[in-house]
Structure 1
Amino acid sequence: MGRIFGTDGVRGLANRDLTAELALDLSVAAAHVLGEAGVFADQRPTAVVARDPRASGEFLEAAVVAGLASAGVDVHRLGVVPTPGAAFLTAELAADMGVMISASHNAMPDNGIKFLSRGGFKLADDLEQAIERRLREPWDRPTGAAVGRLGDSHVGVGTYVRHLVDAIGTGLEGLTVVLDCAHGAAFEVGPEAFTRLGAEVVAINAEPDGLNINDGCGSTHLQGLQKAVVEHQADAGFAFDGDADRCLAVDATGEVVDGDQILAILALASQAAGTLRADTVVATVMSNLGFVQAMEAAGITVVQTAVGDRYVLEAMRAGEFVLGGEQSGHVIMSEHATTGDGVLTALSLAARMAGSGRSLAELSRVMTRLPQVLVNVPDVDKSRTETDPVLQAEVAAATGRLAGHGRVLLRQSGTENLVRVMVEAPTMAQAGEVAEHLADVVRRTLG
């Protein structure tokens, strides 16, 4: 069996790759592994289970709940809640584990399962590998009163919204914002949190029907948000993905503010407030070189990790840092969250605007993005990305040509069957030329 867990849990085409049977078996194995790892307390273990609105989440939730209960775990179903909300509520309800059923920004036919440990933290690689090894092993099944019990929690959304409001601690009166909820898990939480803090809210793509999640909207399709911000003469717009663990922004003119710019704004705000521990921010290798340069100019150290917000969080916990994130819009503020939180990120940006009296466009100018081109190459043998000698020679040659003025990064996707080719260069034309050349080499050598 090949590796099941990817960069962010188990993900695939629902009912084809990710079946009810696999979801049930994974949940049983997770209950066993987490129990032996000391996550469970002495009493009967408890779990919270949440999902995004996609249709397949309904049968996968049923399978996950069945697996956990059959292994003797009491389960609290949260219903439709963002991933960061599930993480927060895992800790808030003192559950021994959490499960989020979502494929994040992927199209509706996909789905995924993310496991969370006590405290709402994503699992480390060794625990995921242990779960894979324990799949479908023989086990002693509890019977009678030892089986798990099920219940529905009706306080999840309200408790999470109160947490978000309390974390911001300042009003947003006078701001008009557009929220693109991607027909996803933030369709209630996002508008409610902004409204409670006094902002005028225009919500778009906030009517999930199980089939329309991420469909031409949200953080991967910003055109609708850009148009709405300009039409409503809003101060800013914020776009979430399907499970609302990421956020991208649009300023009042319709210009996109990406995750690097967002992280830079929040890092400088935290530094000015004296709350940026060790004057350090954690980012990934995908962060734009312009972000690194801007942070260095401000006296802020950048620690870079592999792609994936859990790796960002691991580095943050190891160094006791309080802020980290990804170019894609995952931003972790560890004083308030254990994972990327799109709504919290949007609220924090809005609070920075309100507190400073500066527009989002002005704030985003803290860094200058180096022209960057990202080409996704599908349907290749991505496992040979780092070992193929021809490909590696071409990467080395391109890196040499850009030395001191740009960079090249090739990586295999952890969630999809493709290789990502990223090139930064002094001009967009040069970045595009190098990226397309390397993409052709990937197709020839790995195809």
Structure 2
Amino acid sequence: MTRIFGTDGVRGLANGVLTAELALDLSVAAARVMVDGGEWRGRNDKDDATRPRVRPLAVVGRDPRISGQFLEHAVVAGLTSAGVDVLRLRVLPTPGVAYLTAALGADLGVVISASHNPMPDNGIKFLQRGGHKLDDAVEEAVEAVLGQEWERPTGGDIGRVEPYGKAVEEYVEHLLGTLAAPRPLAGLRIVLDCAHGAAYQAGPMVLRAAGADVIAIGVDPDGLNINDGCGSTHLGPLRDAVLAHGADAGIALDGDADRCLAVDHEGHDIDGDQILAVLALALAERDHLPQRTVVSTVMSNLGFVQAMSAAGIAVEQTKVGDRYVLESMRAGGFALGGEQSGHVIMSEHATTGDGLLTALHLLARMASTGSTLQQLAAVVTRLPQVLVNVPDVDKTRAETDSELAAAVAAEEAALAGNGRILLRPSGTEALVRVMVEAPSQAQADDVAHRLAVVVKERLGR
């Protein structure tokens, strides 16, 4: 059977790959696997005094895509048909759903979002008790019961549905509670691009409550314009607005607001590696960085690793994907991790990457030090990085072909420790990614080109 779950839930073309039928069946399967047969610590049925049965509870949130409406109804139908009570959070960032999953004591949370993907796509992410993403074993268990016959509850055992109108306000209150002082952003002018996504309400609200003068863009979702030429995947509008308004910095979120990128006052991009470095130094300064270790993926720029080493901070690296960063953090008891793409996880305050949480603490660091974002980010000197995709190859042999390995070793020897090479098979396509970092752009380009030729020669179909 083809695996349904990807690196971040189930994702695909809405009403194409991801249908209402699949959404309903997945929700039933998730309920059967994740709520221990429907007898966990939920809410007492106060509507029927003759039936003191305790039903499980789920919270369901989504981003503003039009397809999220029919998928939400399908998810709610599946959960309630399995005997689960549902609180509908409506439009809320993924980390907000994760927070409320924990705060409300829910058995599971469901997020309907395709994150940074274009509007025609959508996705379904399930969260375990406490707001944590599913591990592989739980996903496999859900897939194993998908479509199986099951004993359906009837009568009073069917779940109830209620709107939860305080979701945005409670999430904002939680974010503000992570700050060391009230209104720490007073005096900062910030442009915030919400990508016409799930943070269009919570984003401006929380930054203004923290004291910032906020120019909000990307806050007019119509169900079609999410991530469309804006947000963390398209920094141009943010850069233009920062320069036009003379802002101190700009913050870009993606469609579900679990990632954050930035631009400084001169319009220069600030990526996830630089943000992670700024936050790591701030935590280390307060002795809040356990084992003086930060977690990143193998795609982090070598300049980030060098900056951390110079500060006496170790870097634990994982496979690409925020779920692997999370797994490493939980296993090692680490407090901070993230990706170059802007997923940053601060485990003292959140169970997932949280773009608004990241932005708050990044901007608070600016305010408390009196430094510009450009000055703070300068701790990382990024090496020129080139990424070449080599298509139509047998990616399964990328790590075993001896001649390819020899070519990589020869190029690494020539870099003499001043660069880095990474060959990575794609998780979803028949291609191999060649990533090269070197002291100069020309050298990185040359090495990447030579290795791409070898990959094609050795692995081409």
Shorter-chain TM-score tier: over 0.9
Partner of 2:155: 144
Gaps of 5+ in 2: 43-53
> In terms of Rg, which structure is larger?
2
Aligned residue runs from structure 1 range 360-371, under 5 A: 360-371=373-384
The corresponding residue for 1:337 is 350
Structure 1 residue aligned with 2:179: 168
What is residue 28 of structure 1 aligned with on the other side? 28
Aligned in 2, Cα 1:251/1:122: closer, same or farther, shift over 3 Å? same
TM-score (norm 2): 0.92
| Contact map agreement 2:408 2:421 (CA 8 A) in 1 | yes
Work out the CA distance in 1 between the residues paired with 2:61 and 2:394.
34
SS of the residue aligned with 1:50? strand
Compared with structure 1, are the counterparts of its residues 427 and 140 closer, same or farther at alpha carbon in structure 2 (3 Å cutoff)?
same
Helix, strand or coil at the partner of 2:73: helix
Match status 1:133 vs 2:152: no
Deviations along 1:174-212, one digit per CA (max 9) or x if unpaired, are 000000111111111111001111100001111111111
1:13 alignment counterpart: 13
Whole-angstrom distance in 2 between the partners of 1:322 and 1:413: 29
Pairing partner for 1:217 from 213, 230, 240: 230
Q: CA deviation at 1:402?
A: 3.2
Structure 2 residue 164 is the aligned partner of structure 1 residue 123: no
Which amino acid is the alignment partner of residue 131 of structure 1?
Answer: V
**Conservation of the 8 A alpha-carbon contact between 1:247 and 1:343:** yes
Measured in 1, the distance between the counterparts of 2:227 and 2:7 equals: 20
- The residue identity in structure 1 corresponding to 2:79 is L
Distance in 2 separating the partners of 1:45 and 1:384: 46
Confirm or deny that 1:158 pairs with 2:169.
yes
Mean CA deviation greater in 274-283 or 34-43: 34-43
Cα RMSD between the aligned structures? 2.1
Q: Mean alpha-carbon deviation: is it higher for 368-377 or for 221-230?
A: 368-377
SS in 2 for 1:167: coil
TM-score normalised according to structure 1 size: 0.95
Task: Work out the number of aligned pairs and report it.
Answer: 447
1:70 corresponds, among 81, 85, 88, to 81
Distance 1:4 1:91, change over 3 A: same
Equivalent residues of 1:173, 1:199 under 8 A apart: yes
1:189 corresponding residue in structure 2: 202
Task: Report SS of the residue matched to 2:185.
Answer: coil
CA–CA distance in 1 between the matches of 2:2 and 2:402?
24
Provide the rounded CA distance (Å) in 2 between the counterparts of 1:206 and 1:440: 45
C-alpha distance after superposition, 1:390-429 (max 9, x if no partner): 6555544444443512122233444677643321111112
Q: Give me the whole-angstrom Cα distance separating, in 2, the residues matched to 1:141 and 1:228.
A: 54
Q: Name the residue aligned to 2:218.
A: 205
Q: CA deviation at 1:368?
A: 0.8
Q: CA deviation at 1:161?
A: 0.5
Q: State the alpha-carbon separation in 1 of the partners of residues 87 and 358 from structure 2.
A: 27
1:275–1:87: structure 2 CA closer, same or farther, 3 Å change rule? same
Match of 2:106 in 1: 95
Separation (CA, whole Å) in 2 of partners of 1:303 and 1:18: 35
Q: Percent identity?
A: 67
| Pairwise CA distance, 1:280 | 1.1
Report the Cα offset of residue 134 of structure 1. 1.5
Q: Which residue of structure 1 aligns with residue 93 of structure 2? A: 82
Structure 1 residue 169: Cα displacement: 3.3
Structure 1 residues 154 and 122 mapped into 2: Cα distance closer, same or farther (>3 Å)? same
One-letter amino acid of the counterpart of residue 374, structure 1? L
Q: Paired residue for 2:191, among 171, 178, 186?
A: 178
Structure 1 segments unaligned to the other structure (5+ residues): none
Question: For 1:142, what is the secondary structure of its paired residue?
Answer: coil
1:325-358, CA deviations, whole angstroms, 9 ceiling, x for partnerless residues?
1111111111110000001111111100110111
Task: Quote the residue 1:410 is aligned against.
Answer: 423
